[in-house]
Structure 1
Amino acid sequence: MSGPHHVVVIGGGFAGLEAVHRLAGADVRVTIVDRRNHHLFQPLLYQVATASLATSEIAWPIRHLFRRRDDVTTLLAEVTGIDTVRREVALSTGEILHYDTLVVATGATHAYFGHDDWEPYAPGLKTLEDATTVRRRILLAFEQAEAETDAGRRAALLTFVVIGAGPTGVELAGTIAELARATMPQDFRRIDTRETRVVLIEAGPRILPSFDEELAAYAHKELERIGVEIRTGAPVTACGPEGVMIGEKRLPAATMIWAAGVRASPAGAWLDAPMDRAGRVEVAADLTVPGRPEIFVLGDTAMVKDQDGKPVPGIAPAAKQQGRHVAATIKRRLAGDKAPRPFAYSHAGSLATVGKRVAIIDFGRVKLKGWLAWWLWGLAHIYFLIGVRNRLSVALSWLWIHARDQRSARLITQRDVKQPGGGS
């Protein structure tokens, strides 16, 4: 095809959008394909699920982000297949896109380790729809408990189980505990929300396995201080409408949230590329598919290794670095430099918040915990948000929660067709 070099980017997450941003000014035309019309700031998704933030504060229309870029076309569609020989991408709309360079950054979804039948009872947290579903179930549990006369059933309604104690699970458990103990007690008359049980379950020996052991121990202690029950070395063996099984023990609970694992999108199958057990494409050192230098795979879709041969973590800074690397590679190729250059990952640190005034940060040699870490955690997340309005809005929401223990996004906007645990 004639015209500028055509770059097709599948996925409007951190990696894909960073690549598009960095291609500004290059002699290319770019087409972004995503099945949703918005870019989502996933690190704060749990705050939508726990009624701290509104959906519009952590998501932005992709078209709006590139409204001043005439070289960028945005298509709302799903990819149905990729022909790597013809260099074509087939879309659900029936359109076929020809590409000169393909960037695949389609992210990941929940992994239930062979128990996909658990998903209706323990939804994960990857999309805005997931977040509003979880928020609805959390808030409905309190409403149903207020009307419940059976003590056993009321106790189950006031029991919240978070499965998986990585950063998302820890942040969810801590925020639910504070929601129940600090925000909601004055709103109800028949129940005392401070009697809520929040149970964090981890199959491994400790929470936050990717963090320094001392910081993880501090987070463990702080979670228990705000009322979270932590069960480590305890894999979930069953999950259903009445609660979970932890080993051989049953825990009645009406609300369960899955934060235990992820699996990559089907991009590896589209590309007929080598994949790891999680479905991630095993890319070459320069982030290309082996044998296909015109195809890059980024973010949670790819198994990327750092300079020491260790897997690069699936976090936003890593995805953005990969996007920058790909854009720089495309620009060099257009200038005639075809030599592959390996991706070099620079770890900026790991962060997790335990409560509204407590966080942990692992910068490697420097480790922080407590209120100072919490402020730095907040500043880092605000920095990565898009647009002044969103930064101000999130900052004001957090300051209000910090000062008054009030969360303004406690709206039940839609009810499940069948609420797990007996609702309808």
Structure 2
Amino acid sequence: MENRVVETDGPKIPYDYLVLAMGSTTNFFNVLGAEKFAFQLKSLEQAVELRNHILCCFEQAAHVKSEAKRKQLLAFTVVGGGATGLEFSGAVSELIHGPLARDFPVLDFRDASVVLLEASDRLLPGMPERLQKYALARLEKMGVDVRFNAAVSEIRGATIRLKGGDSIKSETVVWTAGVSGDPQIPAWGLPTIANGRVAVDKTLQVPGHAETYVTGDLAYFEEDGRPLPMIAPVAVQQGTAAALNILKQIEGKEPRPFEYFDKGAMATIGRNSAVVRVGKRTFTGFFAWIVWLFIHLLYLIGFRNRLFVMLNWSWNYLLFERAVRLIFPVDRESRCHIAGETVVDDQREAGS
């Protein structure tokens, strides 16, 4: 970094100012087998791969004769009780007992299960207790088995082992337990601290490198003695602040300290239900769900996109439908085939 040159696969790129906004990667907390056997939700490709796998599990379950194998195929385990884990658990529960129940009438859906594992003693850390309790009650009403103080020690094939000694048989494990900074940052000579993030000063600059800014999940920025959460609103505001500070430096002015404006937090828990925090006010249920929909529509770019999404949501809501349930090919060689009573997945070695 002393030479102010970015080395790439192609030509070297000199710079006057550098903004590092590389985001984060999934944090597996050194759990053995987690990276190999658990699905992630950090990219569109990963989401499509998981979607394909879920549909394949139902296709396979409709053909197997072993009750134990069928229950294993229809067991969906989510690791991490934050907003992502909560929303996914609610969504997959609705998918199982809604559209898929109609698509697979030969299956007994009492064999299907959704388990949410949380290492601490509560869901949605950082949210008010009222919202945490509502989220738990709502998930349990939807049939989700929520387990607290259930830290995962190992994942091997379709077996999940917990630190308390228990184990779970599940063909599908989704990891939503947390994220960390980009692992290649230390090789660049930048010091990292908690979760592989880079400590920045009040202006989002790297100490000792006034020309280098770090924003988003990669930036470790403390406010009131606590680091800002690794969420999109923080990244958006920091990106704007870094750009304005670079303009100030070009003009010979001092950069301004960054101040985060907390607009609140929200999470959906399936159809007609959500939790929302705005300042000190909290909302739950249908009204919170409407707020969630409105906010997400508002942040879409362009009236046409907003209209299309609103019509699509309305159609799905009125008809109790989900998207077309087709298995799409992905770049990775990961497939699930019907082959007697064995699930074949080239990447995950499921069923081993």
TM-score by length of 1: 0.76
Deviation at 1:213, TM superposition (A): 0.9
| Counterparts in 2 of 1:371 and 1:230: CA distance versus 1, 3 Å | same
Match of 1:250 among 155, 167, 175: 167
Match of 1:300 among 209, 217, 225: 217
Tell me which residue corresponds to 2:81.
Answer: 165
Which runs of 5 or more structure 2 residues have no equivalent in the other structure?
330-334, 336-344
Match of 1:394 among 309, 312, 315: 309
Deviation at 1:243, TM superposition (A): 2.4
* CA displacement 1:81-137 (0-9 Å, x = unmatched): xxx111111112x21111111000000111111136322211211111211111111
What SS does the aligned partner of 2:217 have? helix
| Match status 1:317 vs 2:224 | no
Alignment check: 8 A CA contact 2:32 2:154 kept = no
Alignment check: 8 A CA contact 2:5 2:14 kept = yes
| Match status 1:348 vs 2:263 | yes
| Match status 1:378 vs 2:300 | no
What SS does the aligned partner of 2:287 have? helix
Percent identity (aligned): 39
What SS does the aligned partner of 1:120 have? helix
Tell me which residue corresponds to 1:22.
Answer: none
Tell me which residue corresponds to 1:283.
Answer: 200
Alignment check: 8 A CA contact 2:116 2:144 kept = yes
Alignment check: 8 A CA contact 2:205 2:211 kept = yes
User: Which aligned pairs between 1:28-47 and structure 2 lie closer than 5 A?
Assistant: none
Tell me which residue corresponds to 1:421.
Answer: 350
User: Which aligned pairs between 1:141-152 and structure 2 lie closer than 5 A?
Assistant: 141-152=57-68
Q: Give the total of aligned pairs.
A: 337
Deviation at 1:413, TM superposition (A): 1.3
User: Which aligned pairs between 1:23-102 and structure 2 lie closer than 5 A?
Assistant: 84-92=1-9, 94-102=10-18
Deviation at 1:273, TM superposition (A): 2.2
Deviation at 1:309, TM superposition (A): 2.5
Moved more, 164-173 or 377-386: 377-386
Deviation at 1:418, TM superposition (A): 4.1
Match of 1:193 among 93, 109, 125: 109
Match of 1:109 among 1, 18, 25: 25
* CA displacement 1:184-205 (0-9 Å, x = unmatched): 2111132033642000000001
| Match status 1:235 vs 2:151 | yes
What SS does the aligned partner of 1:233 have? coil
Kindly provide the amino acid, as one letter, of the partner of residue 401 in structure 1.
N
Alignment check: 8 A CA contact 2:115 2:144 kept = yes
Tell me which residue corresponds to 2:186.
Answer: 269
Cα distance in 1, alignment partners of residues 324 and 23 from structure 2: 27
Alignment check: 8 A CA contact 1:103 1:296 kept = yes
Deviation at 1:274, TM superposition (A): 2.3
User: Which aligned pairs between 1:7-26 and structure 2 lie closer than 5 A?
Assistant: none
Cα distance in 2, alignment partners of residues 165 and 213 from structure 1: 14
Cα distance in 2, alignment partners of residues 243 and 204 from structure 1: 21
Cα distance in 1, alignment partners of residues 153 and 102 from structure 2: 37
Q: CA RMSD in A?
A: 1.6
* CA displacement 1:338-379 (0-9 Å, x = unmatched): x23211011000111111210001113110111111011111
Alignment check: 8 A CA contact 2:70 2:111 kept = no
Deviation at 1:268, TM superposition (A): 3.2
Alignment check: 8 A CA contact 1:120 1:420 kept = no
Match of 2:249 among 312, 333, 336: 333
What SS does the aligned partner of 2:293 have? helix
* CA displacement 1:132-182 (0-9 Å, x = unmatched): 111111111111111111000001111100000000000000000000112
Match of 2:321 among 387, 395, 406: 406
What SS does the aligned partner of 1:300 have? helix
Deviation at 1:267, TM superposition (A): 5.3
Cα distance in 1, alignment partners of residues 174 and 122 from structure 2: 19
Cα distance in 1, alignment partners of residues 268 and 52 from structure 2: 23
| Counterparts in 2 of 1:116 and 1:342: CA distance versus 1, 3 Å | farther
Cα distance in 2, alignment partners of residues 156 and 310 from structure 1: 41
Which runs of 5 or more structure 1 residues have no equivalent in the other structure?
1-83
Cα distance in 2, alignment partners of residues 419 and 287 from structure 1: 40
Deviation at 1:419, TM superposition (A): 4.7
What SS does the aligned partner of 1:119 have? helix
What SS does the aligned partner of 1:100 have? coil
Match of 1:183 among 78, 96, 99: 99
Alignment check: 8 A CA contact 2:274 2:288 kept = yes
Kindly provide the amino acid, as one letter, of the partner of residue 361 in structure 1.
V
| Counterparts in 2 of 1:387 and 1:129: CA distance versus 1, 3 Å | same
What SS does the aligned partner of 1:177 have? helix
